Structure 1
Amino acid sequence: MPFDHNDHYHRTMARLVPGGARTALDVGCGTGRFARRLAGLGIEVDAVDPAPEVIEAASAAPVDGVRFLCADVTRMELPAGRYDYISCLASLHHMPFGTVAALRDALAPGGVLAVLGCYPERTTADFAWSLAAVPVNAAARVAVAAAERARGPRPRAVRAPVRPPEMSLEEIRREAASLLPGFSLRRRLFWRYLLTYRKPS
């Protein structure tokens, strides 16, 4: 499928970078597209993913300001207060939700944690949002596929391992309330939610 739901939200995620940010951690970076976008903003980025094949692909096209690491963030000793911005794009459901506590502690004062997450459909509201996304998704796929054909054949992209989400949106909201006081959680199209947390200055 040429239309990538996570890439669609790169601009939204980039707008959440706090002013003056100098350091970032991209958790579950995949082949590094968002990490490169952050580096383009003049930010020094640690981009982490446990899948060797995607880190190998990411490292094949190095860019100034990004350090790619093949590592499991749940087993890393993250430096306290280091990062001005931490992003998780469709990666948090691959690890225990409690990992956000370690990410919270790794934020510098005033730093922002931004999670573009996935959730399973369980409630009437979930299915309503899914239904709303279907025609938009179909139109986007057609448009992107047409643009791809116009550009000609391209190398097949390396895809990160995928697993289905298990926590409902209500469970996520409940866990976040205890670990990320003052957080914001909003539904987004394409079966995603956006969770944000700013560490007190």
Structure 2
Amino acid sequence: KAEEVDKVKRSESGVIVEPISLSPEKSAGEAIDLMAKYHISGIPIINREKRLVGILTNRDIRFLEEEDKRLKIAEIMTKENLITAPLGTTLEEAKRILHKNRIEKLPIVNKNFILKGLITIKDIEKVEKFPNACKDAKGRLRVGAAVGVSRDTMERVEALVNAKVDVIVVDTAHGHSIQVIEIIKEIKRNFGIELVGGNVATFEGAES
């Protein structure tokens, strides 16, 4: 669940602020697996200093044979004439750059070419299609996650909080049981996050 929350919270106002990236020394196979895992069609490639050195997209890997998956990303990535944009680029500006260059992904870099973000045409389209989506102060979609009551509940809550979840739902059949109430108190005491407790189906349960 924490991994799913992380996917949602990576984007701020249409800009992916911590884009998934890889080293040019990694293999094509690793890139393909990562793209499949996160359902993405491209990955910025950065060196040890986090400087952008290339980008790997579906176009670069589309015709790879099975044995080609051992190749280093550096051998197959797009590295010439990289199209980038500076920090502060608006979505409207990004849209024009993407359209002009017939590309779908626009890396955001600082003056030293350090990767600082990524804007994709899909993210722009989502912002335009859902202007009233529920977002936090940074423009990221709000996301909640449910946990049960078990030995590892607090560990799971900690992982979700670290992934920047907005609300935790303590979801059980008897939301007003002593065990659930104690878990809710412990979560509030340790994390101070928004909480929903349930299910509660009686007046007495709501009162407790």
TM-score interval for Structure 1 and Structure 2 normalised by the shorter chain = under 0.3
TM-score (norm. length: structure 1): 0.28
For the pair shown, the structure with the greater C-alpha radius of gyration is 2
Q: Which protein, 1 or 2, shows the higher relative CO under an 8 Å CA cutoff with sep ≥ 6?
A: 1
TM-score (norm. length: structure 2): 0.27
